[in-house]
Structure 1
Amino acid sequence: MKLSTKGRYGVSAMYDLAVHYGQGPISLKNVAQRQEISEHYLEQLMGTLRKAGFVKSVRGAQGGYSLTKTPEEISVGDIIRVMEGPIAPVDCLLSGKEDNKYCTKACTCVTRGVWAKVGDSITQVLDSITLQDLCNQVENEAGKPQL
């Protein structure tokens, strides 16, 4: 399974907002500069995150984006699912065994169980890491948050 820039940059942008949680709206320009993401692309990502209810936007000179929940309440898995869709290493896991639109052998496939376990493991890891965990990890490694 390979994540696209949408997923990776979405997590980076949310991490940046988590570092600045409680400081009011953070401008897209600042997030883009710190995370080295195109401001135009970041605008698109924030639109997706806003529609999902993870960020809110404030217009105006002092405007920007902020988290709608605490960093402890948002997992990396939440962000990845919003940005990338379901976490599944193979398409056949996106449907049930019966009437699987991705694979006619889903009911009898000997390897489907393997891919399901891989997907479950990935999901478990991503869901176990919160934005606060990322902030704490960076603070512990560097002594201060990486902006």
Structure 2
Amino acid sequence: MKLSTKGRYGLRALVDLARYSEEEPVSISSISAREDISEGYLEQLMALLKKAGLVKSIRGAAGGYVLARPAGQISVGDVLRALEGKLEPAECAAYHPDEGCQAADSCVTKYVWKKINDSINDTVNGIMLDALVEQSRQLRPGEEEKEKACSRK
């Protein structure tokens, strides 16, 4: 399984949003500046994340984006599925009863795909956004203070 830029950049953007939106909405331009992602691409990603119910947009001069629910209730899996779709490494109809597969009864590789799929989902569902925000604070300490100082000028 290989993630596209949608998944990679979208997750970075959502970690940034979770980190900086605790007091006020965060603008696309501020995420763009911090994460070095184009504003146009971020707008596309935020539209997908909003459709999935992970972010909310706030209109007006002090508007921007905020998380739709607490960071501790949003998993990496939620974000990646909103941006990438299914996270299956191989499309195998054998472990989707509604799709059916003629070789399901005799195919042994379906167990490999299911085990890999279950491992991926267990991993991404077990990592919550708040844990990534905390990691971000440890890797880049003091950024909130710099951000507030810059916005007051």
Change in Cα spacing, 1:31 to 1:124, as seen in structure 2 (3 Å) is same
Measure how far apart 1:138 and its partner are.
2.6
Distance 1:24 1:39 in 2: 19
The TM-score with structure 2 as length reference comes to: 0.84
Say whether 1:120 aligns with 2:118.
Answer: yes
Cα displacement string for residues 110-137 of structure 1 (whole angstroms, at most 9, x for unaligned residues)? 1110111011011111011111111122
- Return the offset for 1:57: 0.6
Unaligned runs of 5+ in 1: none
RMSD: 2.2
- Number of aligned residue pairs: give it: 145
Name the structure where helix makes up a greater proportion of residues.
2
Runs (4+) of structure 1 moved beyond 6 Å? Answer: none
Verify: 1:24 aligned to 2:20, yes or no. Answer: no
What does 1:1-147 align with in structure 2 at a 5 Å threshold?
1-92=1-92, 96=96, 99-100=99-100, 104-144=102-142
Percent of aligned pairs sharing the same letter: 45
Structure of greater Rg: 2
1: CA distance, partners of 2:8 / 2:138: 22
- Judge conservation of contact 1:28–1:43 (CA < 8 Å) in 2: yes
When the two structures are superposed, what TM-score results if normalisation uses the length of structure 1?
Answer: 0.87
Residues 78 and 94 of structure 1, relative CA distance in 2, 3 Å threshold = farther
Gap regions ≥5 residues in structure 2: 148-153
Cα distance in 2 between the residues matched to 1:15 and 1:3 = 17
CA contact (8 A) 1:21 1:67 kept: yes
List per-residue Cα deviations over 1:10-39 (Å, max 9, x = no partner).
111110111113221100011111111111
Query: 1:104/1:28 Cα in 2 relative to 1: closer, same or farther (>3 Å)?
Result: same
1:94 & 1:23 partners in 2: Cα distance?
48
